[in-house]
Amino acid sequence: MNLSYLAPVGSVIALLFAAYLARGVLKSDPGSREMVRISMAVRKGAGAYLKRQYRGVFLFFVAMFLLLAAMAAGGFLTMFVPFAFITGGFFSGLSGFIGMKIATAANCRTACAATDSLNSGLKVAFKAGAVMGFTVVGLGLFDLSFWFFFLKFWYSDPAHLVLAAGQSLESAQVQAITSAMLTFGMGASSMALFARVGGGIYTKAADVGADLVGKVEIGIPEDDPRNPAVIADNVGDNVGDVAGMGADLYESYVGSVISTAALAVAAGLEFKGVTIPMALASVGILASILGSFLVSTREDASQKELLTALRRGIWGSGVIIAAVAWPLIRIGLGPGYTGVYAAVLSGLVAGILIGYSTEYFTSDTYGPTQKLADSSVTGPGTVIIRGISLGMYSCVFPVLIVGVSVLVSFYAAGGSANFNMGLYGIGLSAVGMLSTLGITLATDAYGPIADNAGGIAEMAHLGEDVRKRTDALDSLGNTTAATGKGFAIGSAALTALALIVSYINQVKVIDPEFVFDMQITNPSVLVGLFIGSVLPFLFASFTMESVGEVAQSIVVEVRRQFREIAGLMEGTADPDYEACVDICTKSAQKEMIRPAVVAIAAPLLTGLILGVNGVIGMLAGATACGFILAVMMANSGGAWDNAKKYIESGKHGGKGSEAHKAAVVGDTVGDPFKDTSGPSINILIKLLSMVSIVFAGVILHFSIM
C-alpha cells in the first residue's frame, strides 16, 4: 500500500489547523491601550530584528546558491540541489516569521485573558505556541513532500537515471531521489544556525544587560518599565525562544525524515521504506492536533497541575502515535518488520524520559535546584561552583537514555542480522522522538509568550491577582522551556547520528569503489576525532564571548540613560527603549559571523586535508562532545535561573537579600549557557553533517589524503 500520500495530506492539515488557531488568538481581546502600546513596541523590535537578519541571510543564500550551482554544473551535485537548498531555508525562515508574528500578537492577549482566569491565559498562550508548532511541521512536511513527488516524477524517466550493473530501475530511482533530498537539508540547517545563534546572542545580551544594571546595581524589579533594556529583553524572548527554537527543531524534523529515508535505501527497502518516516510524521501531526484539545486547567491550579495540563496533551499524542504506528508499519513494510515498531517506540519514550531528566535537574520542585539555591547563602562563588557541578552530573542520564534508545532501535530493527536495517531502526527512533513535534514545540513556544505576558502585566500596572496568574504561567513556561531544550538536544543527537550514517552511504553512492578505514588507529580518523571534539567548545566560546560583548554595550547604554535622563528613576520620564533594541539588533548580526564560518568551513577543510575518513572522525567527535556540552550548559543555566526564582518566592530572605543577589549572578552566567551556547550546539552538530553530505563529491575528488 502506498503511504506516501499521507505526507502532503498531513502538511495541509497542519497548516490549516495553525491558521484556525491563529484566527482564534487574534480574535482575543488585546487589552487596554497601554497593554497594546507595550505589545506593539515588542512587535516592532522583533520585526526590525527579523528584517535585518533576513537581509543578511538573503545575501548568504544567494552566494551559496551560486556555489552549489557551480558544483552542479561540474557534476558534483544534481541540478536540483541549489533550488532545494533555497526552499529548505525559505520554509524554515517562513515558519520563524509566522511564529514570531503570532507570539508578539499573543503576549498582550494572554495578559488580558489572565484578567478573567488562569485557564483563559493558559489557553491563549498555548494556542499561540501551537501555531508555531504546527507551522513548523506543516511547512517541513510540505517541503519534503514537494521534492519527493517532484523527484519521483523526474526520475520515472529511465533516461534521467544511471543504473549500476545489476541494479533494478526502482532501486536506482529511489537512490537518486533520496541522495538529492539529503542535500537540501543544508538549507534548513543554515537558516537554523542564523536564527538560533543570532537570536540567542540578542536575547541573552539584552537579558544580562537589563539584569546587571536593573536588579544588581539599581535594585528595581524585573520587567520594570523604567529599565531602558526591558523592551529589548522581551523582544529577545521571541527571537531566541520562538524563532530560534522553531528553526532548530524544524532542522531536526526535516533531517530525521530525510536521513531515515536514505537509510531505507541502504537497507534495501526501496520506496516502501522511504515512505514510512514520512507517514509517521504525518500521523504525528494528527496525534498532536488531538492532543492539543486535552490542554486545560482550573483556577488557582498549582504548578504541578499546570504542568500536568500541558503534559496531558503530549502524553495523549504519544499514546496515539504508539497505537497507530503498529498497523502503519505492518501495512507499509509487511508483517516481517514488526521489530521496526520497537525502534519508533524507543525514540518516543527516550524523548519523554529526557524531558523528565531535564525537569528533575532544573525545576525548583526537586532537590538539585533547591540545594543550588541553598548555596547562594554563602555568595556567588558557591552558586557558580554548584551550578557547574549540577550541569556536569545531569549529563549522565540523557547520554544513557539516548544510548539505550540507539541499542534498542538497532537490534529491534534487525541490526544483528542486517547491519543496514539496524541503522534504519536508529533513524526511525529519531523520527519517533520528533513525531509529536507539533504539540511538543507548542509547549516550548508557550514559554516566551507567557514570559512576555508577565512583563506586560508588570509594565501596564495590572492588578495583583492578574500578576499572580501571569507569574504562575511564566513559572510553568520556565519549566517547559528547560524540558524543551533537553528534548531539542536529545533529538539533535539522534538526528546527527542518522546523518553521519547517511554521509557514509552518500559517499558509497558517489564512489562505490571507495575503501573506508574507520579504525581508531587510522591517523586521519584520530585527528578528525580531536578536531570534532574541540569544535563545540570553540563554537560555545565564540557565542559566549559575543553575549558578553553585546551585554557590555547594553550595560553602558542603560547606565547612560539612568545618569542623563532626568526623572527616569522616579518614573516621571520615559527611557529610550529603541536605543537598546538597535544595539542588540545590529550587534547580534555582526557577532554570529564567526560561529557560522566555523560550522560551514570546518567539515570542508577537514575533508580536503584528512579525506572522508577524517570527516567521519570529526562528525563522531563533534556529535559526542557537542551532545554532552549542550546538555551540561542547558541544565546548568536552567538550574541557575530557577534557583533565583526559588529565592524570589520567599526562600532565603526573598528578593533583595544577599542570597538573591548571589543567585542573580548565577542566573546572569546561566543565561548565555542555556539560551545561546547550549542550544546553538544542536545546530552545529547537525549542520556539520549536512555540509559534509553536500560537499561529499568535492571531498572525494580533491582531498589530499
Q: Give the residue-averaged pLDDT of 220-233.
A: 83
pTM for the model:
0.91
Rg of the chain in Å (alpha carbons):
24
Least reliable range by pLDDT among 104-113, 226-235, 295-304, 612-621? 295-304
Looking at residue 374, its pLDDT comes to 95
Q: How confident is the model at residue 209 (pLDDT cuts 50, 70, 90)?
A: confident
Task: Say if residue 1's pLDDT is above 70.
Answer: no
pLDDT (tens digit, 9 = 90+) per residue, 167-194?
A: 778 888 888 888 888 877 889 889 988 8
pLDDT for the residue 617:
96
The residue behind cell 558544483 is 71
CA–CA separation, 373 and 365 (whole Å): 12
Quick check: 551 and 209 in contact, CB under 8 A?
yes
Distances (CA, A) of 365 to 635, 639, 663: 15, 11, 17
User: Is the pLDDT confidence value at 396 over 90?
Assistant: yes
Residue 240 lies in a domain: yes
Give me the number of domains the chain comprises.
Answer: 1
508548532: which residue's cell? 133
Contact 83/235 with Cβ under 8 angstroms? no
For residues 577 and 228, the answer to whether their CB atoms sit within 8 Å is: yes
Q: What digits encode the pLDDT tens for the residues 237-258?
A: 888 888 888 888 888 899 999 9
Instruction: Give the residue-averaged pLDDT of 638-650.
Output: 90
- Give a yes or no: residue 469 inside a domain: yes
Give the separation between CA 605 and CA 695, rounded to whole angstroms.
Answer: 11
Instruction: Identify the domain containing residue 417 by its residue range.
Output: 6-702
Q: Is residue 1 part of a domain?
A: no
Q: Give a three-class secondary structure readout of 355-382.
A: HHHHHHHHCCCCHHHHHHHHHHHHCHHH
From the list 188, 67, 91, 10, the residue with the least C-alpha distance to 687 is 188
Nearest to residue 181, comparing CAs of 218, 144, 216? 144
Mean of the per-residue pLDDT values of the chain: 89
> Is residue 187 included in any domain, yes or no?
yes
Q: Is 679 part of a structural domain of the chain? A: yes
The label of the residue with cell 495583583 reads 464
What integer pLDDT is reported at residue 68 of this predicted model?
92
Task: Report residue 467 as a C-alpha cell.
Answer: 500578576
- Coil, strand, or helix at residue 75? coil
Q: What is the tens place of the pLDDT at every residue in 10-54?
A: 999 999 999 999 999 999 999 889 899 888 988 888 888 888 888
End-to-end CA distance of the chain: 46
Average pLDDT over residues 539-551: 92
**pLDDT tens digit sequence for 494-541:** 999 999 998 998 898 888 888 888 898 899 999 999 999 999 999 999
Residue 324 phi/psi, 5° resolution?
A: -85, -30
- The confidence score (pLDDT) of residue 6 equals 92
112 located within any domain: yes
> Alpha-carbon distance 304 to 665, whole Å?
28
